[in-house]
Amino acid sequence: MRGSRIMLVAGARPNFMKVAPVLHALKDAGAQVILVHTGQHYDYAMSGTFFDDLGLPAPDHYLDVGSGSHAVQTARVMESFEPVLLATKPDWVLVAGDVNSTLACALVAAKLRETTGSRIAHIEAGLRSRDWRMPEEVNRVLTDRLSDLLLLPSRDAETNLLAEGITADRIAFAGNVMIDTLLSQLPMAKALDMPARYDVGRGGYVVVTLHRPSNVDDASSLENILEALAEIAEERTVIFPVHPRTAKNAGQFGLDDLVRRLRTTEPLGYREMLGLVEGAAAVLTDSGGLQEETTVLGVPCVTLREQTERPITLSEGTNRLAPWPLTAAGIVTSFREAVSPRTAGRPAPDGWDGHAADRIVAALRARNVNLRARAELPEPALQV
C-alpha cells in the first residue's frame, strides 16, 4: 500500500511558521509531503527569509499569485491551484490560518472532492472575532465550513464550531503549531542578541507592528496610532518593522514626520523578530500571531483592535485590548498599564507546548492516513 500524500499550503507570512512544524512532523512520520506556496507574499522579507529560518524546503509548486484586491488575489490562487490539485490528487490538503490563500485552496479542494478524493484539514480552526468586516473572519468561517478535519489551536475554539453546527467527529484538539515553531527557534533567536543590534537594553524598548486595513488604510486612524507611538517614543525606544502596506499609506497620508520619530526597519525575519519581542518591555500590535507569541513569552501585549479572535490570550495570557475606538491617549494609557509591574508568569494555554504538530499527525493517523510508524518516538496522545 502506498504511503499517504499530504499537501500543505502556505501563502502569506503568518502561514509559514504554522506550516513548518507540521511539514517536519509529517516527513518524520514517513508521509509524502507536497508543499505549495501560493506566492501571496513574495518579497524576501515577507516570505523567503521565513523559508530560510524555518528550514522549509523549496516549495514543490509555486503559484506566483502576488498582490491584488481580495477578489483578484483569491481568484488567482484558485485558478492556479486547481491544476496542481488535479495533477497531484493528494489524500489530504492541509491549509492553515485565515489568509486569502487558505480559503481559496480550501474552496478549490472542496469543489473537486469527488474528482480528486482529497480531504481538507484546517490548521488553526475555530477562531472567531465575530467581526465580519475583517476579511480574515470571512476566511476563517468559510474554511472551517469546507473542511473535513478541524484542528483546534486552543480549547475555546471548539465551542465556536459546535455553535455553528459543526459536528464533534470533524474536530480534533491539536494545540498551537505556531508555538511549536516559537519554542524550537527561541534559543537561536536569543543568540542573535537583537536588543544589542538596536543598541537598547532588554526591557528598554517596545516593539510595534501594524498592518490591518482598518488601522492603516484610514488616514485619521493611522495618524492616531502614530501619535500615540511618537509619545511613547519619548519614554522608550519604539522599534517598528514596517509592513509594506503601512509604509505606503503613511507616505500617502503625509505622516512620515511621525514615523521618523520611531526606530523603523524593514519587515524582520522570523528569528530576528522573535529575538526582539522576547526582550521587549511590551508589544503593541494588530497582528493575530503576536498576541499568542507574547502570551507564551510572558511579554505584555497591547492589541490595537476592537476585538480579538484569540480571547484566550486575554483570559490566560498577557494580552489586553486598547480602548475602542482607538485614540492616541487611550493607546498610551493602555501601554502604561501594560508595562506597570509585570504580571507573574502564567502557564501557557493548554496545547501551547511545542507538540501540536505531533498531535496533528496523530489526528490524521486516526483518520486512516497511512504513515510509516515512528519507531523512535512514542505515539502522542490524541485529545479529541
Q: Which residues are catalytic?
A: 211
Q: Which is nearer to ligand UD1, 90 or 241 (CB)?
A: 241
SS (H, E, C) 175-191: CCHHHHHHHHHHHHHHH
Q: Choose one: 11-19, 307-315, 324-332, 363-371; the region binding ligand UD1 (CB under 6 A).
A: 11-19
Give me the least distance between CB of 91 and ligand UD1, in Å please.
26
Residues 266-305 close enough to bind ligand UD1 by CB under 6 A: none
> How far is 182 from 273, CA to CA, in rounded Å?
11
> Pick from 48, 203, 244, 330: which binds ligand UD1 (CB under 6 A)?
244
Residue 67 contacts ligand UD1 per CB under 6 A: yes
Residue 235 contacts ligand UD1 per CB under 6 A: no
> Pick from 14, 279, 311, 354: which binds ligand UD1 (CB under 6 A)?
14
Residue 369 contacts ligand UD1 per CB under 6 A: no
Give me the least distance between CB of 243 and ligand UD1, in Å please.
6
Give me the least distance between CB of 28 and ligand UD1, in Å please.
28
Residue 245 contacts ligand UD1 per CB under 6 A: yes
Give me the least distance between CB of 68 and ligand UD1, in Å please.
7
Residues 15-44 close enough to bind ligand UD1 by CB under 6 A: 40-43
> Pick from 28, 46, 183, 330: which binds ligand UD1 (CB under 6 A)?
46
SS (H, E, C) the chain: CCCCEEEEEECCHHHHHHHHHHHHHHHHCCCEEEEEECCCCCCHHHHHHHHHHHCCCCCCEECCCCCCCHHHHHHHHHHHHHHHHHHHCCCEEEEECCCHHHHHHHHHHHHCHHHHCCEEEEECCCCCCCCCCCHHHHHHHHHHHHCCEEEECCCHHHHHHHHCCCCHHHEEECCCHHHHHHHHHHHHHHHCCHHHHCCCCCCCEEEEECCCHHHHCCHHHHHHHHHHHHHHCCCCEEEEECCHHHHHHHHHCCCHHHHCCCEEECCCCHHHHHHHHHCCCEEEECCCHHHHHHHHHCCCEEECCCCCCCCHHHHCCCEEECCCCCCHHHHHHHHHHHHCCCCCCCCCCCCCCCCHHHHHHHHHHCCCCCCCCCCCCCCCCCEC
Give me the least distance between CB of 349 and ligand UD1, in Å please.
21
Q: Which is nearer to ligand UD1, 241 or 351 (CB)?
A: 241
Residues 194-223 close enough to bind ligand UD1 by CB under 6 A: 211
Residue 62 contacts ligand UD1 per CB under 6 A: no
Give me the least distance between CB of 191 and ligand UD1, in Å please.
26
Q: Which is nearer to ligand UD1, 96 or 361 (CB)?
A: 96
Size of the site for ligand UD1 (CB under 6 A): 19
Residue 175 contacts ligand UD1 per CB under 6 A: no
Q: Which is nearer to ligand UD1, 42 or 253 (CB)?
A: 42
Contact 343, 327 (CB under 8 A): no
Interacting residues with ligand UD1 (CB under 6 A): 12-14, 40-43, 46-47, 67, 98-100, 135-136, 211, 243-245
